[in-house]
Structure 1
C-alpha cells in the first residue's frame, strides 16, 4: 500500500462508508489527508442527500412496474433530460461501453443539478456531511445570575446579538437580561471558556434605573420595562467599533461593549420593534410601530422632545400608496403597524435596480428603500404573508426549473446561471396560518431579478422568486443561512434545514425533545406542564459578509446560536461531543465563587489580625508611660 500513488489509494478509499473513512483518518497523516478529500465527501453528500435517495427509490419502483410502462417513463425522462440513456448507439464499440458512458453523463448531470455551491465559493464538504448527518447537540450557555447561588435568581435574556472577530467568526455573545443588565458570554472555541460569562453590567443599566433606588425596587422596575414590548430584533452589534445597540421600549441605548457603559440614549416616537444590522459605515435603520428612521450614530443624540411626532387624521387607510407622504423629520410614516425585521444589503454589490434597505413585518408587502433617497419609498413587492424575519445569501437565486426534480438542465446552463452575480432575499413568516418561506432573486441581470419599483413583479412569470411556499404547519419565526443550507424555526419548536432551493429537506430537530441538564430545570418543569419552548432567533457563528467568501469555516466552528422563547441561549453543534457542558460551567462558577469567598475571608482575617496587632502595640506603648 505504501508504494501506491495517492490517486489509486483515493480510488480504493472511495468505496468505504463514511464511518469507515472517519476511522481511517487515525491510521496515518497520509490517510488523514486522503480521507478528507473534498471531492470524495462532496460525492458522499450527494449520494446521501434526500433528492438522490428519492431518485433511487423511484428507479426501484420502476423495476416493479409493467415493462411497457417503465420503458415509457424512461423514454420521457430521456426526452426531458440533458443526457441520453439509450444503450443502442451504432457508433459505439459495444453496448456495454455505451452504457458506461451514458451512466457517467447521467451521474455528472445529477451531481451538477444537486451541487449547492457557486463559482468561487469554498465549501468544506467533510464538515458539510457532518452537519447534514452527524448527531446534533444543544449546549446551553451559563445561566446569568445575581446574588448567591442559593437565591436562584436566574434572569432570562430579552434579546441576543453576536460580536464577530476580524475573520468573521463569532467571538462573544451579547444579551440584555430582564433585570436591565447586559451579559457577555465567550462564544469562541477557547478551550474551557466557551459558554462562560466573561462580563456583566450592573442591574438597571438599560432601563436607566440607577443606584439611587434600592435593589428590590430597581429590579422590579427593570423587569417591568424590559419585558413590556418583547421585540425580537432588539439588539444590534457593531463588530468593528465594538458597540451594541439595545432597544428598550421607545429608547435606543448605545453601549460600549468594552466598558459596558451607555454612550447615548435616543428616544423615538413609538416603541421600537426592529433594528437593522449595525455597521460603522452606514446609519442604523430603526423600525417602530408606526415609523422607520435612519439613525446616524455619529451625530449627537437629539432631545426626546425633538423626536416626537403625531399622526393626524385618524387611522390611516390600509394602502401602501400612502406609505411615503413626505419627510416628517427624516423618517417614514407607516400606514400599517409594524416593522419586525430590517435587512441591509451590502452596498458594494453590483447595482440590481433595487435599494439597499428591505423591511418586512405585519403588513403583507416587502418595503424597499434606497438609502440615498430616504425617506422616499422606492417600491414594494407583494408577498401576501406576514413576515417575521428577513435574511440573504450573497448568491443568485436558482429557480425550480433549473434544480433537481424538474426536467434536468445541462450542467453548462446551470453553471452559467450560477455565475451571474446577485443575492437571494429570503423571508420567513405566516400565510393563512401556515409557515411561509419565500425566496426572491436580486441580480444585475433583469431576467433573473425582481424589481421593487414594478408593482407587477409577482405577476411576471419570468421573474425569479418563490412566493408563499408552505414550509411548516405553524408560523415561521426565524431563518438564517447555514453552510450550503438554509435553517428556519417554527412555532412548534422545530429547527429545520433545507437545501438552498428552500424546499428539499435535509434534517430537523425539536428543542423540546432534547435532553436538558440540571441548570435548565425551569425548562423541564415547563415541559411537564405541557408547555413547549420555541426558537425566536437563529444566529450563525460564521458571518456571511465578514467571512471571506474564498475561505471555508474551520472544522467544528460553523454552528448555530439560538435564543428561545423561555429566554435561554444555546449553541447547536454537530458531532459526537457537545461544544460545552452547562453543568460543568455552573460547577466552575460555584467553585470560583467559593474560592472568591474564601479569599475574602482570608483577607478579612488577615486585616483583623493586623488590626489586633496594631492595637496590642498601642497598649504596650501606653503602658510604657504608666498609663
Structure 2
C-alpha cells in the first residue's frame, strides 16, 4: 500500500511517461484505480500517439530502422562523425553528442510524420481515447427488434421503409429511431436504452396512419412510399415533428398526423429538417423549399360563403378555399434526385449556411443558394451516379492531401494547408462504371462586396480504384474518419484523404443462421446497409459507444458497436412465457419429429435403391 501511495505521489509527467511503456489492456485497467489515474490515462496526446502507432501509415515509414544513416545538423552522416582513434573520454563525449543529435532528429521526424497523418483541424475537439477504440476495438452487429402485426404470428415481421434519428430537444443521452412501416404505421425504437431496452420498440402507431398499407389481396397501396426512396423520413428535434415522403407531418409526441402537403410529382428525397431553415423537398423532376414553419388557416376555420352561387361559381369558390401559396420550385434538367444536403458554415459544425447541394441519377452535383432559389448557382461534374452526400466545415486540397498521404509535407506546410479561411469539404459516394466511387471536393468561399459570398470549386479527389468493387450506398462522418457502406455488405472506414483504409466490418444477416437454413451460409447472402447514421449525441459524452453507427437494410434496423461482447438480435426481444415443462415437452416433440423425418428419408432411399437394381416382380 505504501508503494502504491508513493507511486501516486509522483508528478503527472513522470506517471504519463511510465504509462507509455504499458500495453493498452494494462492502461485500461489502470485508469479504474483512481480519478487521478483516470485523468492521466485519458491524456489526449498519449492516445493520439497510440492511434498513430497502430495506423497503417507507419508501415511505409522506416523511422526506427534508420540506425546510423541519420545525419547531424551539418548534414554529415552520424556514422562518419565517430572518430576511429583518440582519447577514451573524447570518444565518450562524441558518442553522447551523437546520441543526443539522433534522438532530436528522430523526435523532429516523428513529429513531422504525426502532423502529416493527423486528420484533425485547428479548433476541432477530438477524444483520442474513443478514436483509438473505434479504430482498433472489436466490432459487433446488433439487430433491433422487428415489428409484428397486432394479431399476427410472431414469425411475420413488418418491413421497415426508412429511418431518421430523433433526439428530443434539450434531452441528455436520449436518441430514438423513427421509421415508417409497410402497414402504414410509424415505429419508434430506443437507440441508447434510456427509456427501454436498447434496440427495443418504444412505441408504435396504429396501422394505416400514413397510408392504408396492404389490401386483402396483398397488394400495396399506391400511396405508400416507394422502396427505392432512401431519404423518405426527416425529423425536426426542436418541434418534435417528423416528415414523410408522402407529404405528411406527424407529431412524434402523440403519433398523429398534423398536416399533409400535396406535391405535383412523387417525392423522391428530402433534406434533413432544421428549425432555422425550410425543408428542401426533391420530387421526380424538381426541388421545393417547403417552409413548414408557416401556419395556414385550416379550411374549417375560414369564413363560409353565405350567398347562393351558381354551379360554376360554386366550383370556383371551392378552388379558392383549397388554394395555398405554392412553395418555391426549381425544375431539374434531368430527373431523379436522390440526396439533398444542407452544408454547414466554414468552421461551424452546428450552423447551416445557405448552400444546398443535390445529387442523384445525373452526372453532376447541383449547387443552389437558398437566397437565390430557384436559380442554380453552379455544379460539380462527377461523371458517376451519386446517392449520398456529407460534408466537413474544413478545407480540402487534393494536392496537399496526396502529399500528406505520402508524408512529404513539413509541419509548417501542414498547418498552412489546414488553416485556409472559408474552406469546406463536400464528400459524395455512388457508382461509376459499376464500381464504387468515393469523391471529395474542396470548396472555398470569399466575400466580394462585403455581403455576397462567392463559392469556388478548388479541388477534386475521386477514388474509383480502391474504394469498392460494388456500388457505394451511403457515406457519413464518423469521428475523424469517413465510413461508407457498399453493395457487398461491408462497412469501410477510411481516413479523410479518401484512400487510406482504416478497417472494415461485414454486418451479416438479421436472421440467426440455423442448420435448417438453405441459404444462410451461402456467400453473398448478407444484408447490405442502404443508409448509415451516426448516433453521436453530445461531444462530452464519456462512453465510446456514444458514437455507434445505425444502419437500415431496406427491411430492418441494426447498430454497429465497438465491444468484445456478442451482439443482440430480434430473437432476444421475444419474451419466453412457457414453463420449463412446456419447453421440455416442445423440445422432445421436435426431437421425435426429426427422428421420424430421418427414418422416412432412409425408407425412401431404400425403395429407390431396390428400384434401381431392376429386380423382377413376383
The correspondence for 1:21, drawn from 27, 49, 58, is 27
User: Contact 1:533–1:564 (CA<8 Å) still a contact in 2?
Assistant: yes
Residue 562 (structure 2) aligns with: 574
User: Contact 1:498–1:506 (CA<8 Å) still a contact in 2?
Assistant: yes
TM-score w.r.t. the length of structure 2 is: 0.76
Q: Per the alignment, do residues 260 and 222 of structure 1 end up closer, same or farther by CA in structure 2, a change over 3 Å counting?
A: farther
SS in 2 for 1:267: coil
Residue 100 (structure 1) aligns with: 103
* Shift, 1:495, TM fit: 0.5
User: Contact 2:145–2:199 (CA<8 Å) still a contact in 1?
Assistant: yes
User: Contact 2:116–2:407 (CA<8 Å) still a contact in 1?
Assistant: no
Query: What is the 5 A alignment of 1:411-560?
Result: 411-419=411-419, 420-444=421-445, 463-467=458-462, 469-470=464-465, 471-512=467-508, 517=512, 528=522, 531-542=525-536, 551=540, 554-560=543-549
Q: Per the alignment, do residues 260 and 372 of structure 1 end up closer, same or farther by CA in structure 2, a change over 3 Å counting?
A: same
- Higher relative contact order structure (alpha carbons within 8 Å, sequence separation ≥ 6): 1
Residue 298 (structure 1) aligns with: 293
* Shift, 1:452, TM fit: 12
User: Contact 2:346–2:393 (CA<8 Å) still a contact in 1?
Assistant: no
Could you tell me how far apart the structure 1 residues matched to 2:265 and 2:559 are?
Answer: 34
* Shift, 1:131, TM fit: 0.6
Could you tell me how far apart the structure 2 residues matched to 1:476 and 1:272 are?
Answer: 23
Query: What is the 5 A alignment of 1:149-160?
Result: 150-160=153-163
* Shift, 1:146, TM fit: 1.7
Q: Per the alignment, do residues 222 and 179 of structure 1 end up closer, same or farther by CA in structure 2, a change over 3 Å counting?
A: farther
Residue 241 (structure 1) aligns with: 239
| Structure 2 gap ranges (5+) | 83-92, 300-317, 580-618
The correspondence for 2:178, drawn from 171, 174, 179, is 174
* Shift, 1:225, TM fit: 4.5
Asked if 1:394 corresponds to 2:390, the answer is: no
Deviations 1:522-578 (A, max 9, x none): 9995665963321100000126xxx56xx466432111100013x110111002235
The correspondence for 1:139, drawn from 121, 142, 164, is 142
* Shift, 1:439, TM fit: 0.9
* Shift, 1:169, TM fit: 5.7
The correspondence for 2:574, drawn from 583, 586, 603, is 586
Query: What is the 5 A alignment of 1:146-225?
Result: 146-148=149-151, 150-165=153-168, 166=170, 171-190=175-194, 193-207=197-211, 217=215, 220=218, 222=220, 225=223
Q: Per the alignment, do residues 100 and 362 of structure 1 end up closer, same or farther by CA in structure 2, a change over 3 Å counting?
A: same
Could you tell me how far apart the structure 1 residues matched to 2:574 and 2:550 are?
Answer: 19
Deviations 1:232-266 (A, max 9, x none): 0111111111110111xxx3111111111111111
Q: CA RMSD in A?
A: 3.9
Residue 611 (structure 2) aligns with: none
TM-score w.r.t. the length of structure 1 is: 0.75
* Shift, 1:197, TM fit: 0.8
Residue 278 (structure 2) aligns with: 283
* Shift, 1:168, TM fit: 8.3
Q: Per the alignment, do residues 381 and 398 of structure 1 end up closer, same or farther by CA in structure 2, a change over 3 Å counting?
A: closer
SS in 1 for 2:443: strand
Q: Per the alignment, do residues 555 and 406 of structure 1 end up closer, same or farther by CA in structure 2, a change over 3 Å counting?
A: closer
Aligned residues: 528
Residue 366 (structure 2) aligns with: 367
SS in 1 for 2:357: strand
| Structure 1 gap ranges (5+) | 210-215, 309-326, 592-627
Between 1:91-100 and 1:32-41, the stretch displaced more is: 91-100
Deviations 1:598-627 (A, max 9, x none): xxxxxxxxxxxxxxxxxxxxxxxxxxxxxx
Q: Per the alignment, do residues 243 and 130 of structure 1 end up closer, same or farther by CA in structure 2, a change over 3 Å counting?
A: same
Residue 251 (structure 2) aligns with: 256
Q: Per the alignment, do residues 347 and 40 of structure 1 end up closer, same or farther by CA in structure 2, a change over 3 Å counting?
A: closer
User: Contact 1:355–1:368 (CA<8 Å) still a contact in 2?
Assistant: no
User: Contact 1:113–1:409 (CA<8 Å) still a contact in 2?
Assistant: yes
